[in-house]
Amino acid sequence: MTAAQFFAAFASGQRHFTALDFEYEEGFSWKDFSGVIFERCYLNVDMRNSNLYEAQFIDCNIKEIDLRGANLTCAFMTRCLVECAMFKGACTAGFRFVENYYYGLVLNQADFDGKPLHYGEA
């Protein structure tokens, strides 16, 4: 599935996506992806300032995703590779972070709440 096909499928009501492979694709920032479910996806994209309310990331490689300023309210992330993911300024109220992989470590909610992973100063 191309990024354009993903955007069209989401706009038509599809919410569950598996095995997407997006690297350096444009058009993901400042979008409303409320309720999306990404499962077994590779997402190296810029989702800055996007609405990911109740989004789910399951078994994904998101190690270079940019979520700065994103709305992650009530979102869920589990079993994802999160090295270099950026969260600075993201709204994380109710965000659940369970069993994610970071440079050989397994991190959970207490690790995320203590200090966001790669905070992303840029």
Residue 95 burial (CB count, 10 A): 20
Within-domain flag for 73 = yes
Q: What confidence tier does 117 reach under pLDDT thresholds 50, 70, 90?
A: low
Within-domain flag for 54 = yes
Q: Is the pLDDT of residue 122 over 50?
A: no
- In this prediction, residues 4-29 reach a mean pLDDT of 96
What pLDDT does 114 receive? 65
Number of domains in the chain: 1
Within-domain flag for 44 = yes
Q: Which of 68, 66, 86, 80 is nearest to 37 (CA)?
A: 80
Q: Is the pLDDT of residue 29 over 70?
A: yes
Q: What confidence tier does 121 reach under pLDDT thresholds 50, 70, 90?
A: low
What pLDDT does 119 receive? 54
Element (H, E) at 97: strand 96-98
What pLDDT does 63 receive? 87
What pLDDT does 7 receive? 97
Within-domain flag for 120 = no
Within-domain flag for 65 = yes
Return the percentage of the chain with pLDDT > 90, whole number.
80
Domain at 103, CATH number: 2.160.20.80
Within-domain flag for 119 = no
Within-domain flag for 9 = no
Domain, as residue range, for 74: 15-22+30-114
Q: Is the pLDDT of residue 20 over 60?
A: yes
Within-domain flag for 97 = yes
